[in-house]
Amino acid sequence: MKRPLSSAATSEDRKMKKVKETETDEKFEKIDGVCQKNRGLASFDENMLFEVLKHVDAKTLAMSSCVNKQWHKTGQDERLWELICTKQWANTGCGEQQLRSVVLALGGFRRLHSLYLLPLSKPQTSSSSCSSSSSSSWGPISQQVIRSKPLPRLGKDEVHLSLSLLSIRYYEKMNFNNRNM
Amino acid sequence: MAQEASSSTSSKTISLKTGDGEIFEIEASAAKQMKTVQRLIDDLGDDITIPLHNVFSKELPKIIEYYKKDITGEITKDFEAEFVKDLNDDEVKVLFLAANYLDANKLFEFLSQNIADRLESKSVEYVRKYFGVENDFTPEEESKLREERAWSFRGIKEDE
């Protein structure tokens, strides 16, 4: 799996956390109402949270920003949203670092996902130009698609489209600011 | 149990003592995969029983089972699926915390994926309870955030 972070960095982070943990050996935490006295394990620290969130799907990552302030901060992390976006993509035809700097400059992966990638993953619920199936038959199917894990792989065109839309949005905002000056 | 490896590297077993006083044996090559254990071995020597204050007899056997499989190079998707099949969310959490303490990278990665899978379609309240975190948002802040992310709340399962 592609990871923007070097794994060396994360294991180093964990080592630092480890030193802290051994020092707090005697600390006990209430986990699920059961007093885990003398267990000595610190509860999930920020690093462990990040590691778990690396593997969640888009819905869970977005939802996690509502848990508390620390989670909100972690849930907004661009590196996590980059993972979410690129998981869906076929080969974009440009380097990872290059793509990253462009997307970050234009507003970031989180925005890219919520504004332009999310609509692409949703099924067509409204009766579109396709006249074949009746609108009622889309009901249960659309529910299934939202809940199912394997995401539709987005092709090059869809990726380029979403990136273009992100650029347009950025430039629209830019022009608007200039006009006021 | 302990198999004598034909290679020249350690075919020794290491004794590990859990926080609740039970002793378990693992092969030295498996112990190497748990960096915390290896560090303790380096400091204390491999003839001494290594104390693991923060790991208990409930979870250590499972961890040992994983690494026993790992050193034979036999960890497959099927094995991993079977490994977590009968574990509830809390048991996985305990294993994950232990893997973190032991600095057992492979198990840690695997379990972080498994926990992520288990969190899919869970409610915010469930996640708070599971991770033992307090909600520090005001009601207004929280409802604003939820509104912004309304799409992510569709299909959330009822908490058990």
Give the single-character DSSP code of B2.
-
Tens-place pLDDT, residues A73-96: 999 999 999 999 988 786 777 788
Yes or no, beta carbons of A32 and B124 under 8 Å apart:
no
Instruction: Tell me what pLDDT residue A128 has.
Output: 42
Chain A nearest-CA distance from B37, in A, is 12
Tens-digit pLDDT profile for residues A11-55: 555 555 555 444 444 333 434 333 343 333 446 788 899 999 999
Per-residue pLDDT of B100-115, as tens digits, reads: 999 999 999 999 999 9
Q: How far is A8 from chain B (nearest CA, A)?
A: 12
pLDDT given at position A123: 61
Alpha helices in chain A (DSSP H): 7-23, 46-53, 58-64, 69-75, 78-88, 96-106, 109-112, 118-121, 138-147, 156-180
Structural Rg of chain A based on CA atoms: 21
The distance of B54 to chain A (nearest Cα, Å) reads 6
pLDDT 10s digits, B14-25: 999 999 999 999
**B151, B9, B145: which is closest to A60 by C-alpha?**
B151
Q: What is the ipTM of this complex?
A: 0.86
**What is the DSSP pairing of strand B50-52 with strand B23-27?**
unpaired
For B146, the closest of A32, A51, A66 (CB atoms) is A66
User: Does A67 sit within 8 Å of B127, measured CB to CB?
Assistant: yes
Best A22, A37, A47, A63 residue to mutate vs chain B (most B CBs within 10 Å): A63
Is the entire prediction scored with pTM above 0.80? Answer: no
What's the burial of B34, exposed, middle or buried (CB within 10 Å: 0-12/13-18/19+)?
buried
pLDDT at A144: 41
Long-range CB contacts (within 8 A, 24+) of B135-139: B135/A67, B135/A68, B136/A68, B136/A69, B137/A66, B137/A68, B137/A69
Tell whether the model's pLDDT for residue B157 goes beyond 90.
no
